[in-house]
């Protein structure tokens, strides 16, 4: 029998209350990890996960949450920075508030989610950080200049963290999901959804579990020990 080596590893998932984050929480628990999640609501229906109400845009609330997680579960090995939002509109129509909201959650929120745990990872000489970027950050998307900028930003953040963390045994990678069936994509009008689906070589939107398995791979000290600073695209061959 082989294992991904995640048994009893303490892992934080941000935005774990629904969608992709909830699928990540559920899979990591199946794989034997001790999982905490942070979200603005904590009713994800998985009693084996530790839910903590916190806002990734607020560094003080993340510090407090981090203390609670480490007191209850132990030193954190993995952080999955998954919480994200959209405020879509064409560039000419985007207001400063649309930029601020998306940058605060998707870019600064990723940094604030990782920061409270990084020294502990360095001290224990083990850690894996996974940021959920997006196909939009990798290749751009109409109506998402603000979102794409943040999702490209976290790719750079992970590449730099990978360089800083390597000598401490701490890895950092990003995942760029294509279009995935969650509440976030339910906002897409049917006509646009049909057009996007026609462009996806696999002929369908992805499921949250498709991303969860990629996260498990990148967290695994067994399967991805030599993978760091990488962008893993999970998109049904939807590259161009």
CB of 162 to ligand NAD, least distance (A): 19
Contact 176, 84 (CB under 8 A): no
* Binding to ligand NAD in span 86-145, by CB under 6 A: 105, 109, 132, 134-135
Closer Cβ to ligand NAD, 166 or 237, answer by number:
237
CB of 33 to ligand NAD, least distance (A): 19
The answer to whether residue 147 is catalytic is: yes
How many residues sit close enough to ligand NAD to count as binding (CB under 6 A)? 29
Calpha distance 98→222 (Å, rounded): 40
Of the candidates 148, 108, 154, 153, the one whose C-alpha atom is nearest the C-alpha of residue 130 is: 154
**Using rule CB under 6 A, residue 15 touches ligand NAD:** yes
Q: Tell me, what DSSP letter sits at residue 105?
A: I
Tell me the two tokens of residue 229. Answer: 């600073």
In sequence order, what are the residues at sequence separation of 6 or more whose Cβ sits closer than 8 angstroms to the Cβ of residue 92? none
Segment contacting ligand NAD by CB under 6 A, of 65-73, 173-181, 192-200, 213-221:
173-181
Cα separations in angstroms, 108 against 35, 137, 165? 23, 15, 19
Q: Which residues pair with 174 in a beta bridge?
A: 131, 231
CB of 190 to ligand NAD, least distance (A): 16
Catalytic residues: 147
The footprint of ligand NAD (CB under 6 A) covers 14-15, 17-21, 38-40, 55-57, 82-85, 105, 109, 132, 134-135, 177, 179-180, 182-185
């Amino acid at each position: 029998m082989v294992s991904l080596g995640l048994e009893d590893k303490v892992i934080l998932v941000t935005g774990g209350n629904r969608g992709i984050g909830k699928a990540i929480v559920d899979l990591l628990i199946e794989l034997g990890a001790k999982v905490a999640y942070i979200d603005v609501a904590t009713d994800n229906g998985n009693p084996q996960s530790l839910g903590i109400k916190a806002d990734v845009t607020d560094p003080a609330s993340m510090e407090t949450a981090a203390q609670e997680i480490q007191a209850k579960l132990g030193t954190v090995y993995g952080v999955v920075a998954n919480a994200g939002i959209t405020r879509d509109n064409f560039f000419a129509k985007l207001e400063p508030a649309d930029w601020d909201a998306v940058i605060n959650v998707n870019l600064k929120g990723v940094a604030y989610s990782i920061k409270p745990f990084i020294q502990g990872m360095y001290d224990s000489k083990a850690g894996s950080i996974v940021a959920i970027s997006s196909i939009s950050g990798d290749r751009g998307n109409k109506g998402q200049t603000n979102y794409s900028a943040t999702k490209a930003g976290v790719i750079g953040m992970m590449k730099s963290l990978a360089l800083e963390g390597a000598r401490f045994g701490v890895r950092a990678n990003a995942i760029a999901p294509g279009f995935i069936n969650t509440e976030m994509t339910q906002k897409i009008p049917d006509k646009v959804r049909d057009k996007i689906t026609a462009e996806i070589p696999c002929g369908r939107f992805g499921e949250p579990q498709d991303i969860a398995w990629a996260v498990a791979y990148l967290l695994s000290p067994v399967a991805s020990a030599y993978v760091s600073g990488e962008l893993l695209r999970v998109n049904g061959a939807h590259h161009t």
